[in-house]
Amino acid sequence: MSTTEAPEFGETSRFDVAGEIYQTEFKKLRNEGKFTPMAESLATMTPATTIPFALPEALQALLDAFLVGVRAQPAERPILRLIAGDASDRKFFRLENTDRSAICMQFPIWEGGYGGDPLSWLGMHAALDAIGMPVPRVLHIDEPNCCIWTEDFGDNFLNSELSGDVLDAANIMHAKGLTRYRAALDLLVEAQYPRTPMPAHPAQGRAFDFEKLHFEMRFFFKHFMRGFLGLDTPDAALEAELTALCSWLDARPRVLCHRDYHVRNVMIAPNGELGWIDFQDARMGPHAYDVVSLVRDSYVRIDAPTRALLYGHYLKSVNERKASQGLPPLDSADFGLECVHMGLQRNVKALGSFGYLATEKRKPSYLRYVPHTLETLVAPESGLARLYPNTHAFLVSLQNGPMKKLLEAKLEEFGVSKF
């Protein structure tokens, strides 16, 4: 199939909502000339002959397919660079040596339904774009090479402008960073309660129900406790508490969740505005899901008063939007309780992910966030000791108790010695 032709799916397509949106969105982009800006900016280019940092033949094929797709003939030699990616199996490349950069996102396979797939990305992109969310423009779709080319949001994460080790609202030097965080929380409200109707999207058929939440807790037992720490038999009381946690969260009202809302997926774009990336795994879930993902982020230290301030900002913002739509407000105490439960689930799941990435994917760099994640989990304001005492006791033992030496030894095995 030519990279300039809209792909078609037959009557036996199994891609459901994601596939239908992909088909429609591709045709819309083509028919409305959404490829034109990049095509104009590359109008004087010629194919590259030197591609650094990866197999020349493979990258040459990606670049040539893109240039054909946007009908570009560059005068200078463009460069396609492999850039740092995320924890997924995707590869990311940046087009350079042009008057406009672009990002090539290459998926391991072009099909839907396996999680983090290109059809879900395109389906969520179409829906988010329709309600005005700041997602990168799609420049070209190259199905044969499993690539989506998009606008480049740059390299500045949400926390790039923070100074110091801890986000502290009392520190005047953190005022700009705090404003960014408030804006990121406001974007959640825009997605959860959009001003205009949201089109059909893949997340409608996915939810953080008991099955999914419990899978993530089992993921923690398998990849952090057994795979990383080497503990063969999880404590029965700990398992019972985390199962009860999943039941509690399963009963909560659901809204659209980005699903991986941390500082590395909220970019500060070149125009100074915030932008969303990595939204393909979106699901329906509790209001607090994305809120605690950001405010209890494993990658950034935020002190307790600042966390409370940010929770309060979100609550005020979402209740103002709900009131404008004639909906009842979220109760402050109830939302606070949801944050406690959801924060526990998200941080425990993060530990499972760090263990998995280190032991199964050979990506040990994420282990350096384990100590901070444990610190967040056992902080007095977390409320964990009262609600889930066995879970609290286990985590305290790892963080600063009898099992601390085991944790330190395991971290050192993977090259993490400063914590």
* 142-183 tens-digit pLDDT: 888 889 999 999 999 999 888 777 899 999 999 999 999 999
Higher-confidence residue of 6 and 270: namely 270
Whether 210 and 363 have beta carbons less than 8 Å apart is answered as: no
Sequence-ordered strand ranges (E) for 251-298: 255-257, 266-268, 274-276, 283-285
Give the whole-angstrom CA distance, residue 145 versus residue 147: 5
- Tell me the C-alpha distance between 52 and 50, whole Å: 6
Q: With bands split at pLDDT 50, 70 and 90, how would you rate the model's confidence at 86?
A: low
Average confidence (pLDDT) over 385-408? 95
Mean pLDDT of the chain: 84
Cα angle, residue 276 at apex, residues 270 and 281 outer, rounded to 5° = 150
| Structure token digits, residue 282 | 């979106």
Using the predicted structure, report yes or no on whether residue 330 has a pLDDT greater than 90.
yes
Sequence ranges of the chain with CATH classification 3.90.1200.10: 202-413
Burial of 163 (0-12, 13-18, 19+ CB in 10 A): exposed
Lowest mean pLDDT among 95-99, 125-129, 218-222: 95-99
Specify whether domain 202-413 bears CATH 3.40.50.300: no
CA–CA gap between residue 36 and residue 72 (Å, rounded): 10
Does residue 373 surpass a pLDDT of 80? yes
Residue 37 in this model has a pLDDT that exceeds 60: no
| Least trusted range by pLDDT, from 36-40, 101-105, 361-365, 397-401 | 36-40
**Average pLDDT score over residue span 220-236:** 92
Task: Give 328's contacts (C-beta < 8 A, 6+ positions apart).
Answer: 322
More confident residue, 344 or 17: 344
- In angstroms, the CA 91 to CA 83 distance is 8
Using an 8 Å Cβ cutoff, are 298 and 373 in contact? yes
Q: Residue 224 and residue 366: Cα distance in Å, rounded?
A: 12
* Contact criterion met (CB below 8 Å) for 261 and 294: yes
pLDDT category of residue 112 using cuts at 50, 70 and 90: confident
Burial group, residue 2, by CB count within 10 angstroms (0-12, 13-18, 19+):
exposed
Q: Let me know how long the chain is.
A: 419
Q: What is the pLDDT at residue 54?
A: 37
Using the predicted structure, report yes or no on whether residue 4 has a pLDDT greater than 90: no
Identify the pLDDT of residue 153.
95
Cβ–Cβ under 8 Å, residues 171 and 164: yes
